[in-house]
Homo-oligomer: A and B are copies of this chain.
């Protein structure tokens, strides 16, 4: 029941945002006959939104926790990026939900996002600080943000790509392609490209 509500709300919020969704609509989508029931499970719309976010982000948090020190750095021994892309591809609304949350930030939301995402950011930064590439320490926040946008932007903005590129971003072929693209792109950025070539002095480039 609570889960059904969260499911319905997740779909709705991802698709139309906090302001664009009505409690009536969520109730209907959840198979409830009445909006009042929503308020039995969640204090108000904002609380429901935050619960949706928290539940939606949990798997990502877990996934990155599993990855440990390697973060999303691509490489044969680290499946984290693959897994992340797979997960995002299987949950097409998740990227949109996160993107929405960034834009719709209210005070409360900001708190929630901060609580959930800041640890991720801090760990991610640690990983990046070991990366090669032309990056100075002051670049790292920009680099972290850039990777975030590269990874999540594809699914978040899928409809746009559909429209301007006549490209179905969710097709299996496109998802596979996006996985390869992301790996290569991250490798290019972090200097951790699969060792296609040996750096001149034998030191790994990163």
Contact = CB atoms under 8 A, between A and B. Distances in A.
A132 B39 CA distance: 56
Contact of A153 (B18, B138, B149): B149
A145 B141 contact: no
A14 to B, nearest CB: 9
- Give the number of times this chain occurs in the complex, counting copies: 4
A187 to B, nearest CB: 7
Q: Which 5 A-B pairs have the closest CB atoms?
A: A191-B206, A132-B206, A149-B153, A19-B20, A200-B200
A204 B188 contact: no
Contact of A161 (B131, B138, B141): B141
Nearest to A119: B164
A157 B149 contact: yes
Main secondary structure of the interface of A (DSSP, over half): helix
A66 interface: no
A197 B145 contact: no
Interface of A: 16-20, 96, 99-100, 102-105, 110, 113-114, 117-118, 120-121, 125, 131-135, 138-139, 141-146, 148-150, 152-154, 156-157, 159-161, 163-165, 167, 177-178, 180-182, 184-185, 187-193, 195-197, 199-200, 204-206
Contacts of A160: 102, 105, 113, 117
Contacts of A180: 139
Q: Choose among A105, A180, A181 the residue with the greatest number of B CB atoms under 10 Å from its CB.
A: A181
B103 A17 contact: yes
Contact of A188 (B104, B178, B206): B206
Contact of A204 (B153, B165, B177, B191): B191
B149 A154 contact: yes
